[in-house]
Structures are given as structure tokens and as C-alpha cells.
Structure 1
Amino acid sequence: MDIGIGLPALRPDPDLSIAAWARRAEERGFATLATIDRVVYDNYESLTALAVAAGATSRIRLTTAILLAPLRSNHALFAKSAATLDRLSGGRLVLGLAPGFREDDYNAGGVDYQHRGKLFEALLERATRQWQDPDDSIGPRPATAGGPPLLFGGFTKPTLRRMAAHGVGWIGGAQGVASFRAFLPQVWQAWHDAGRAGAPRLMGTANFALGPDGEQRLRTRLLDYYASAGAYAEQSVEAGLTTPEQVAREVAAYAEAGCDELILFPNGGGLEQVDLLADAVGL
């Protein structure tokens, strides 16, 4: 199982360099650098943050886990931005996509929350055509043939349908391995029902905060980020990892469940978090 690490992009410390974090993560052997996405929050925009990380590295994958796709209402421009990042990074971009559930993000961008599903479908149609059709007039062509790999996040029937039609796999939320494992039969069923060959790529996500004040940092950060999410916030805190032993157990549990890649997202702290996590997972 591959192990990825999130960028410190939520409530970012201006003194903590995204480039330095990315270089250290690559040096320590992480497979992926990842972002999560909001509009109405103090966070770096995902594709911009990944572009900075791309310029500081040469091998590590760059993953949105996830990007709130319907908020990118100019579909041709979104496809162009993604293709540009994929080309400039040498084909390292992986797009994890989902519609999200926070209405304030949509209101802030003037995007119709009630029709986000239809907007998502239109974006997928435009982007895949732009990436795959050699006669499409909008460039550049992505470095990855056919466009960046797409994974879809969520626990709904539309998620499964989009994955089966357009994706290479599924991303689980950071509520623990039991939640991840419970949804896998539906992922596999949707994949087989669509006649897809091979196996879907299965990606898990988790939150971590290591060090002496890790438990407090994780709780404070997650309750703030998920302030409007009700029980989801507490579930995220309960599933969070604050000791090397917890990290090691969770990694083993995800691997046993059949996860192909686990991405762990930091919650505060400095550059030392990269090394603490690398040590905990055996990199």
C-alpha cells in the first residue's frame, strides 16, 4: 500500500514553506502529496498549492483528495488548468473529485448548490472531451494520455456511477477504516456492473497530528474545519491519529482492508510532522 501525506494547506502558517514540506516528503519516500478543498475557509486553493509542490519536486504524485469539482463553473478553464499542471509536473496529477455538502462554498462562488450534480456531470463531459479529443482546440494536452486519472469521493449512488463511468477508483473519507471497509462492496459491485476490467483503485484518507500537543491540535483543527458538519466532526476527531502507535495500527488496518493508498493529512505543527509521520509508517 502506498502512503501519501497532505500539504499543510488548512489555516496555513505563513512561515511554513509548502515547497520545503513537499521536498521533505519526497525525500522521505511518501508516494503522494495531497490537498483538500474549501472556498469559505482559510486554506490554500488546491491546484495552486499543488503547482508550488510540483515545482519543488520531481517524482511524488500530486493528488486532490478531494477537489470540489462543481465549484469550477468554467469547465473549459478547469480542464485547461488541470492539463497544465499535469503537463508541467510530468504527468503526476491525480484528480480526486466530489461535489461537497457545504452550501456556503457554493453561495460564495455564485454557483447553484441545488444543481451541483448536473454541474458535476457537465464538467466531467467537458474536461474528458478536452483532454482526450486531439481535435479539441483548447490546449495544452495533458502529459497523461487521456487526462489525469480521476477518483471519486463520497458514499452515494451518484459517486459510484461517476466512478464507473469516468474514474479509476474511489476515495474514502477520514472517518476510520471501518467506514472505508463497509462501503467497498458497493464500490466493487458498481465497477463490475459497469463491465470495467481490472480493479478500481481504492484510496483511504486519515487525519494525524503527532508530537506532545498532537491530540489538542487535531481536535481544535477538525472541530473548526467541520464546524457545520454535526456528528461528522466528532467522528473525524475520534478517527484521528495522534501517536505513532495509532498511525501504525491504522496503516496496517487499511492495508488489510485492501486499500491501495492511504493519505494522511496534517493538523498543525511544523515541518517536523513530515519526519514524525515517516518514522511512524516506516519510511
Structure 2
Amino acid sequence: MRFGILLDHQYAKGDDLRARTGELVELVQHIRDCGYDSVFGVHHYLSNLATPQPLPVLSRIIEHSGDMQLGTGILILPLGHPVHWAEEVATLDQMSGGRFVLGVGAGYREDEFASFGVDLAKRSSRMFESLEVMKKLWSGEEVHHEGAHFRLDGVRCSVLPYERPHPEIWVGANGPVGIKRAARAGYSWLAPSNVKRNWAVGNLEAFRAELAAHGEDEPGRTYPIQRDLCIADSREEAFALAGEYARRSYGSYVEYGMDYFESMWQDICEKALFFGTPDDIAAKIQDFASAGFDHFVFRVQWLGCPPEVSHRIIERFAKEVMPRFKEVS
């Protein structure tokens, strides 16, 4: 069983990003010292929040991350060119000694796609073709590619990943079609944070069935999921500690047409957040682990949340919950 932290480096406009980056480095050091397995960055352009880009952020924290995996959770792949992404990711994988995890997603925000001149309706096709091109480039061989979105004629990647043949790839998908397509291509599926337990478990079962049907259900594959985490002496105390910050972060999505995060907030609290006592959290993890998930990536930062709250959650989980699973892994 592995546990990671999603670095929610999204801040109010006008915030002191240099100071926030320093806090982020300190947080990563704390995550490392508490024995976590991974840290991940987030990605958006033109956001209603100040959102430093994930690849520079991850580059900044490499030297502070020990032997943890570092990755994107997720990178909006259709908004860039696969040559650019291939060389950027390979560079980070070299710098980290093969610890990079490429988590990708198709995106959803119309203003991002319109500003980049990319057709939103073709984002999934563009994402999967990008991954195909990137893997060809990472082979080190001369690449000839003629696809629906990209054309390469006899070129070679100038930087190859440290991890061969390429870094681990996770595909974030929120619908059955995308989830099954990820399985057919042989990638891991990254289950999203804000979905109910039965939805996540049911789609994992469908994903694994699709993997098996296409001969891709190999040993050692990762089955990751994201969740929001707050641990306290009671569920009520957990929500008192971080509930308002979490609601504020989810509320920022309303501007992008996702108003159910406001109208169905209580439902999200009940079904999707890992907020509660150590025993509560351990029971939730065991439930999801029994269904097949084996890498939990927790968000413990939210909009306006003081760093000491995030540090407290990270440390308490490491001391009171993580050992229950690490001892039997």
C-alpha cells in the first residue's frame, strides 16, 4: 500500500507566490520525513486562482523529496505538443533519477482550450495520440508518425527518460468511455477525488475487466485514487479544522459550470471526503483497498488553509494510520 500527497499549489490572486513556494518546499520536506511515498502537482492555465505550473514546481522540490515519486496529478496533455511534453517529462525523470509519474487528463475548461486554439471536442483523441507519440520519442529511435493531430518525420528525442522504457503513466478519466480507453491502451487509471465510493469501485472493476480482455492486466500495475483527507479526534472536529477550506476550494469550480460542488456539498462531504478519526480513515482505506485501489493520493491543502493545519494532518496520518497498512504490505 502506498500513500502520497497532492500539492494543491493554487492560491488567491495577488498572493505572495514566492512565500507560498517556500512553504511548499517545507511541506514536501515534512511529507518526506513522515515516510510518504509520493507527491504530485496540479495543472491549469488561465485559472481564477494563481496556479504555478506543475513542472517548474516539481523541479523545485526534487532535491527536497528524498526517494519519493514525483508526478503530475494531472497534466492537461491536449493543451501542449507531445514533443514538448516528452522532452520536459524526460528531463524531470532524469533529474529525479527515474522517480517521475506522468499523470495526465483530457481537461474540461472551455477557456483554456479556446485560448490555445485546441478543439475541446477532440481533447480525448488528442491526449491518447500525444501519449502514443511520446512513447515513440522516448524509445530513442527515429520517429515517423502520421496521426489525426500530429505529424513527425524522422526526428529523435534529445532527452530520454531515466526510467526505461518510460515513466509510469496514469490517466485521469471521469467517465466509463475514457476509463475503458485507458485500459485498452495499457495505462493505469487515476480515480478522481470527488466521486462516490460505489462509482469508483464499479469503474475500477470495469477497468480491470477491460485490462484483462486486452491482455494488459499485468502484475505490478498501480491502481491509484485521489481523496481529500483530514484526520482529527472526531468527524465533527475534522470538519471544523478543514471543512470550510475544502468547501472554498471546491467552490472555485463553480465558475467553470460545476455548480454541483456547491449545491451538492453535503453529499460530497458524506460520500467523497476522508474526514474523521484515525479509525474512520483506516476503515475507508481498507474498504477501497479491498476493492483493488493501492496508491492513495491525499489532498491536505485547500484555499486559504494555514500550512500548520496541513502539516498536522500529514503527521497524524503518518503516525496513526499509515503503520496499519505498511506493516502488512
| Residues 123-132 or 230-239, more deviating | 230-239
Alpha-carbon separation, structure 2, partners of 1:162 and 1:258: 17
Q: Which residue of 2 aligns with 1:99?
A: 106
Residue type of the partner of 1:5? I
Alpha-carbon separation, structure 2, partners of 1:232 and 1:146: 40
- Counterpart secondary structure, 2:73: strand
- Counterpart secondary structure, 2:223: strand
Shift of 1:134: 3.7
| Residues 137-146 or 226-235, more deviating | 226-235
Alpha-carbon separation, structure 1, partners of 2:287 and 2:132: 36
Q: Which residue of 2 aligns with 1:85?
A: 92
Residue type of the partner of 2:313? L
Shift of 1:232: 5.1
- Choose from 253, 272, 288 the match for 1:225: 253
Residue type of the partner of 1:4? G
TM-score, length basis structure 2: 0.78
Residue type of the partner of 2:293? C
Matches within 5 A, 1:147-158: 147-154=166-173, 155-158=175-178
Q: Which residue of 1 aligns with 2:9?
A: 9
Alpha-carbon separation, structure 2, partners of 1:253 and 1:232: 24
Shift of 1:138: 1.9
CA deviations over 1:70-125 (Å, ceiling 9, x no partner) = 112x2101110000001101111111111022212212333221221232133112
* Percent identity between the two aligned chains: 20
- Choose from 281, 285, 296 the match for 1:262: 296
Matches within 5 A, 1:67-82: 67-72=75-80, 74-82=81-89
Contact 2:208–2:217 (8 Å) recurs in 1: no
2:53 equivalent to 1:53? no
TM-score, length basis structure 1: 0.89
Alpha-carbon separation, structure 2, partners of 1:70 and 1:236: 29
Matches within 5 A, 1:248-259: 248-259=282-293
| Residues 82, 163 of structure 1: alpha-carbon distance in 2 compared, 3 angstrom cutoff | farther
| Residues 88-97 or 60-69, more deviating | 60-69
Alpha-carbon separation, structure 2, partners of 1:35 and 1:194: 31
| Residues 57, 277 of structure 1: alpha-carbon distance in 2 compared, 3 angstrom cutoff | closer
Q: Which residue of 2 aligns with 1:282?
A: 322
- Choose from 112, 134, 139 the match for 1:127: 134
Contact 2:227–2:298 (8 Å) recurs in 1: yes
Q: Which residue of 2 aligns with 1:32?
A: 38
| Residues 274, 248 of structure 1: alpha-carbon distance in 2 compared, 3 angstrom cutoff | farther
Shift of 1:128: 0.6
Contact 1:35–1:64 (8 Å) recurs in 2: yes
2:142 equivalent to 1:142? no
| Residues 124-133 or 76-85, more deviating | 124-133
Q: Which residue of 2 aligns with 1:118?
A: 125
| Residues 272, 232 of structure 1: alpha-carbon distance in 2 compared, 3 angstrom cutoff | closer
| Residues 181, 197 of structure 1: alpha-carbon distance in 2 compared, 3 angstrom cutoff | closer
- Choose from 134, 152, 173 the match for 2:192: 173
Contact 1:61–1:92 (8 Å) recurs in 2: yes
CA deviations over 1:27-55 (Å, ceiling 9, x no partner) = 10111101232223222212222111213
Alpha-carbon separation, structure 2, partners of 1:142 and 1:64: 16
2:246 equivalent to 1:240? no
What is the total number of aligned residue pairs between the two structures?
A: 281
Alpha-carbon separation, structure 1, partners of 2:59 and 2:200: 29
Contact 1:75–1:123 (8 Å) recurs in 2: yes
Alpha-carbon separation, structure 1, partners of 2:254 and 2:228: 13
- Counterpart secondary structure, 2:226: strand
Alpha-carbon separation, structure 1, partners of 2:254 and 2:295: 24
Bigger Rg over Cα: 2
Contact 1:218–1:240 (8 Å) recurs in 2: no
Residue type of the partner of 1:119? R
CA RMSD, aligned part only?
Answer: 2.3
| Residues 49, 134 of structure 1: alpha-carbon distance in 2 compared, 3 angstrom cutoff | same
CA deviations over 1:160-186 (Å, ceiling 9, x no partner) = 22333242x111111243322121221
